[in-house]
Amino acid sequence: MRAWGLRTKSILALLLACLIALVPTGLIGWRVLDGIRDYYGSAYARSSVKLLKEEVFARVARELALSQRLARSEITRSWLRDEDNPAKRALFFREAESFRSDFHDHSYSVVSHRYYYFNGDNLPFSESPRARLDPKDPQFAWFYNTMRDTEQFNLNTDYDKAVDQTKVWINVIVYDGDKKLGVAGTGLDLTRFLRDFVARPDPGLTPMILDANGAIQIHPERQLIALNSGTQKEGEAASTIFRLLGGPADEAALRQAMRAVSSFQGELRILNVRLSGRPQLLALAYMPELKWYMVSAVDLQTVQLIQPVWLWALLGMGLVLFTALVLGFLYVVDRLLLQPILALRSSAQAIAAGNYTVRVPVTGGDELGELGRAFDTMARTVASHTEQLEQRVSERTAALEEANKRMLAAHKQIDDSIDYASLIQRAVLPERELAQALGPHHFVLWWPRDVVGGDFYVFRRDGDNCLLGVVDCAGHGVPGALMTMLGGAAIDQAINVAGPSSPAAVLAQADVAVRAMLREGELRKALATSMDAGLCYLDRGARRMLFAGAKISLYWSDGAQVEELKGSRRALGDRRVGDYQDLSLELQPERTYYLVTDGVLDQAGGEHGFGFGSSRLAEMLLQHARLPLEEQAARFSDIINAYRGAYPQRDDITILSFRFDDTAFTGQNHD
C-alpha cells in the first residue's frame, strides 16, 4: 500500500484543524451575539426610559405647575375660608375658568368638604358641588388620606365615582398659613395618557410608571394599575411591581436601584430581573419633581435588536471566507512547500550522481531556502576549488578598500546628515495641521536636547473631532530621533487599526506595534526602547474629552486650581504590558489643558541644581492658565530658561497645551 503524500496529508490536516476550530469558533460567535444583544438591549432600554421620562415630565409637570398656581391663588384661599359666600364663589369660578382653558383636559377640581368639578368637554359648568364628602364613604377616602398624609401634592391614578371618570389626578394642597383648606388640581384622562405615553411601540418593550412605594401608576395593561395608590401608604397598594418580580433577590435589587436613582438626580440604573415570569432588562429613572419612577422593561428574547437578515449575511460571509481560506492554504502549501521540496529532491539526486554544476532552484528565507542554498554552496565549492577561493579573497580585499574609502567620507556625512535629519524631523511634526485646526487655541513648546531629539507630538483629525498628544521616546540625539520614527509609525498604525476615538485603544495597539518592530531580543537588551505617551481625543459635539496616558499625565487649570490626571504606570514597549484606560472629562472653555514630557520635571536648575519638579510646574500652570495661549508659551519659555540658568538641558522638553470653545476645531485658519 502506497503511503500518503505530503499534499494529501496537508489537506487532511487542514480539514481536521478546521473541524477542531469550528467548536470554539461557534461558542465564541454565540457569546459575541449575546454580548451584542445585551449591549444594544441596554442602550435600547436606556433610550426608551429617557424618552418616556422627558415626554411624561413635559406633560405632567405643566399640569402640576398650573394646579399649584390655582391652589396658591389668593382668590381660591379666600373662597375656601368662606365657602358659602356667593360673591367669593362667583369670583373663584371666574378665576378657575381662566385656568380651565389652559389645562390639557379642560378640567379642574376643588375639594374641601364639598366636591366641585368641571370638565368643559362633557360636563356643563355649574357652581354647585358634584357631591358632599362623607368621611365614612370609601369613595372619598383618597381626599382624607391626601389631607392627612400629603405635604404639598400627590399624583393618584384612580376612578372617581363622583364624576364617573378614571384619570391621573393631580392633587395640590391648598394652605392658609399652616392650615390645610382643601385640595385643588386637575386630571389627565387615563386612556389618553396610556395611548400617548405607554402604548407599546415595539414588541418586547413595556414602559410603566411607579410611585415611591413601587405601586404601578401607569401600565399598558390597565388591570395592573394600582388605582388610588397615590394616597395610600407603603404595602397598601393592591398592584405593585414587586409582586411581578421573580423573588426576594429581584425585589432587593430593584429597591436598591430605586434608592440610588432617587438619591442622585439624573442617574439611570439598569438591572436584570425576572418580570412576569420572564427574564427582562429593567431601565429605571426618577423624576423628583413628580416623585415618580420611569421604568422600561425590555424582553431580550422578544425584542428584535438584531435583524435576522444580518445574521444570514454574516453566516454567508463566514462561509465565503472559510472557502477562500481553504483554497488559499492549499495554494500556499503547494507553491511554498511541496514544489520547492520536489525541486530540491531532483537537485540532490543530480549532485549525488556527480553533477556538481547543477543549481538548486530554491529561493526564500525559510528553512527550505536555507537547505537549498546549502546544497548549492556545496556544489559550487567542489566545482571551483582553489580558483574560486582566490577570487573570493580578491573580492573581499577590494570590498575592504572600498569600505575604508567610504569610512573617510562618512565622518563628514554624519554631521551633514544629523543637520538634515533635524530638518526632516521638524517637517514631519504636525505643526501646520495643529495650527489649521486649533489656531490660537493651542501652543507647542518642542525643545530637543540635541540637534534631533526623542520627543514628538501627534495630531489626527476625525471629522469635527481630533486626537492629539505627545510621545517621549527613550534616548536622545540620533537614537532618540530614530525611535521617534518607530514611535510615529507605531502611533499611525495604531490609529489606523483602532481608530482615533479611544486613546486607550490607540496606546494598546501602539504597544503591540512597538513590540513587533523591536521583537529582536538582543536589540531590546542593548537599547532602551520604551516610549512614554499621553493622548487626548476631543469630542467637539459632546464637549467631552477622553484621555489615556502611558507614564504621561494630563494637567488642567482654570486659574483657581490645578488638577492632574495620571496615566498608566507602564510605558509603551515596557518589559511588562501596561493597562491603558480612557478617562472621560467634560471640556470646559475656562480650563486650559496641558500634556508635558518628563524633560520639564527633570530639568536641573535653581541654586542647588534640583529638578524643576511637579510643584513648580503646578504653580506655573496655575498662575498663567487664564492668559492667551500664545502669551502662556512665551511665559513658560522664560520661566524654564530662567530656572535652568547655566545648567545644561538634561532631556528633550515638550509641552502641548490647548483650550476649548465653540470656535475651536473648525478646520479654519485662525489669526
Q: How many CB atoms lie within 10 A of CB 602?
A: 14
| Grid cell 556527480 in the structure block, residue | 354
**Rounded CA separation 462/136 (Å):** 71
- Considering the domain architecture, whether residues 401 and 543 belong to the same structural domain is answered as no
pLDDT value for 663? 64
Of 382, 397, 420, the one marking the end of a domain is 420
Give strand ranges (E) for 418-493.
442-447, 455-462, 465-473
Cα distances from 478 to residues 419, 450, 490, in angstroms, run 11, 9, 18
3-state secondary structure 638-666: HHHHHHHCCCCCCCCEEEEEEECCCCCCC
Q: What is the pLDDT of residues 441-456, one digit of tens each?
A: 999 999 999 888 889 9
Torsion angle of alpha carbons 150, 152, 158, 160, nearest 10°? 100
**Rounded CA separation 577/568 (Å):** 10
Cα distances from 144 to residues 23, 138, 180, 609, 658, in angstroms, run 67, 10, 11, 81, 63
**Rounded CA separation 294/218 (Å):** 10
The answer to whether position 223 is within a domain reads yes
Q: Residues 6 or more apart from 522 whose CB is under 8 A from it?
A: none
Determine the distance from the C-alpha atom of residue 339 to the mean position of all C-alpha atoms in its chain, rounded to a whole number: 51
Instruction: Read off the C-alpha cell for 179.
Output: 392650615
The answer to whether position 207 is within a domain reads yes
Mean pLDDT is highest, among 141-150, 182-191, 252-261, 542-551, for 542-551
% of residues, the chain, pLDDT over 90: 30
| Mean pLDDT computed over 73-89 | 89
The answer to whether position 2 is within a domain reads no
Say if strands 562-565 and 554-557 run parallel, antiparallel, or are unpaired. antiparallel
Instruction: Read off the C-alpha cell for 537.
Output: 481625543
Number of domains, the chain: 3
- The better pLDDT of the pair 652, 299 is held by 652
pLDDT value for 467? 97
CATH classification at residue 362:
1.10.8.500
- Considering the domain architecture, whether residues 102 and 218 belong to the same structural domain is answered as yes
**Rounded CA separation 147/172 (Å):** 10
Among 378-382, 603-607, 659-663, which stretch is predicted with the lowest mean pLDDT?
Answer: 378-382
Among 40-54, 299-313, 477-491, 537-551, which stretch is predicted with the lowest mean pLDDT?
Answer: 299-313
Q: What is the pLDDT of residues 273-320, one digit of tens each?
A: 998 888 988 889 888 877 888 898 888 777 765 556 655 677 788 788
| Grid cell 485662525 in the structure block, residue | 670
% of residues, the chain, pLDDT over 70: 81
H/E segment holding residue 490: helix 477-498
CATH classification at residue 434:
3.60.40.10
| Exposed/middle/buried for residue 613 (C-beta within 10 Å: 0-12, 13-18, 19+) | middle
The answer to whether position 17 is within a domain reads no
pLDDT value for 299? 85
| Grid cell 489626527 in the structure block, residue | 460
Mean pLDDT is highest, among 121-130, 160-169, 210-219, 435-444, for 435-444
The answer to whether position 229 is within a domain reads yes
pLDDT value for 165? 72
pLDDT value for 628? 95
Q: How confident is the model at residue 36 (pLDDT cuts 50, 70, 90)?
A: confident
Instruction: Read off the C-alpha cell for 271.
Output: 438591572
Query: For residue 478, which amino acid is it?
Result: V
Q: How confident is the model at residue 237 (pLDDT cuts 50, 70, 90)?
A: low
- Considering the domain architecture, whether residues 478 and 619 belong to the same structural domain is answered as yes
Mean pLDDT is highest, among 293-297, 367-371, 383-387, 454-458, for 454-458
| Strands of the sheet with 653-659, listed across from one edge | 442-447, 653-659, 592-596, 554-557, 562-565
pLDDT value for 235? 63
- Considering the domain architecture, whether residues 545 and 641 belong to the same structural domain is answered as yes
The answer to whether position 587 is within a domain reads yes
H/E segment holding residue 604: strand 604-605
- Considering the domain architecture, whether residues 103 and 217 belong to the same structural domain is answered as yes
Q: Report whether pLDDT(494) > 50.
A: yes
**Rounded CA separation 169/185 (Å):** 8
**Rounded CA separation 145/139 (Å):** 11
**Rounded CA separation 153/66 (Å):** 12
Q: What is the pLDDT of residues 511-531, one digit of tens each?
A: 999 988 877 555 555 557 789
| Mean pLDDT computed over 415-441 | 85
| Exposed/middle/buried for residue 328 (C-beta within 10 Å: 0-12, 13-18, 19+) | exposed
- Considering the domain architecture, whether residues 106 and 224 belong to the same structural domain is answered as yes
Instruction: Read off the C-alpha cell for 609.
Output: 541644581
Q: How confident is the model at residue 670 (pLDDT cuts 50, 70, 90)?
A: very low
Q: Report whether pLDDT(135) > 50.
A: yes
Domain that holds residue 363: 308-420
- Considering the domain architecture, whether residues 531 and 563 belong to the same structural domain is answered as yes
| Mean pLDDT computed over 420-438 | 87
Q: What is the pLDDT of residues 593-621, one digit of tens each?
A: 999 999 999 999 999 999 999 999 999 99
- The better pLDDT of the pair 641, 140 is held by 641
- Considering the domain architecture, whether residues 342 and 282 belong to the same structural domain is answered as no
DSSP alpha helices (H): ranges in 334-366?
A: 339-352
pLDDT value for 411? 67
pLDDT value for 470? 97
The answer to whether position 398 is within a domain reads yes
Q: Report whether pLDDT(671) > 60.
A: no
- The better pLDDT of the pair 407, 370 is held by 407
Instruction: Identify which of 81, 82, 118 has the alpha carbon closest to the alpha carbon of residue 98.
Output: 118
Of 396, 420, 444, the one marking the end of a domain is 420
- Considering the domain architecture, whether residues 213 and 275 belong to the same structural domain is answered as yes
The answer to whether position 453 is within a domain reads yes
- Considering the domain architecture, whether residues 583 and 460 belong to the same structural domain is answered as yes
- The better pLDDT of the pair 630, 384 is held by 630
Distance in Å from the first CA to the final CA of the chain: 86
Cα distances from 633 to residues 502, 567, 606, 656, in angstroms, run 28, 24, 21, 10
Q: Report whether pLDDT(1) > 50.
A: no
Q: What is the pLDDT of residues 476-486, one digit of tens each?
A: 788 888 888 89
| Mean pLDDT computed over 318-343 | 74
Q: What is the pLDDT of residues 189-224, one digit of tens each?
A: 777 776 776 665 677 788 888 888 888 888 888 788
Q: Report whether pLDDT(668) > 70.
A: no
Instruction: Read off the C-alpha cell for 524.
Output: 531590546
pLDDT value for 43? 83
Q: How confident is the model at residue 561 (pLDDT cuts 50, 70, 90)?
A: very high
Of 251, 278, 298, the one marking the end of a domain is 298
Q: Is the distance from CB of 578 to CB of 569 less than 8 angstroms?
A: yes
Q: Report the mean per-residue pLDDT for the chain.
A: 82
- Considering the domain architecture, whether residues 284 and 319 belong to the same structural domain is answered as no
pLDDT value for 424? 84
> Residues of 127-166 as b/e, b for ≥16 C-beta within 10 angstroms?
eebbbebeeeeebbebbebbbeebeebbbbbbebebbebb
**Rounded CA separation 476/650 (Å):** 10
Mean pLDDT is highest, among 56-60, 113-117, 564-568, for 564-568
DSSP one-letter code for 246: S
- Considering the domain architecture, whether residues 398 and 437 belong to the same structural domain is answered as no
Q: How confident is the model at residue 490 (pLDDT cuts 50, 70, 90)?
A: very high
| Mean pLDDT computed over 454-471 | 95
Q: How confident is the model at residue 231 (pLDDT cuts 50, 70, 90)?
A: low
Determine the distance from the C-alpha atom of residue 121 to the mean position of all C-alpha atoms in its chain, rounded to a whole number: 50
pLDDT value for 586? 94
Q: Residues 6 or more apart from 330 whose CB is under 8 A from it?
A: 10, 11, 14
Q: Report whether pLDDT(653) > 70.
A: yes
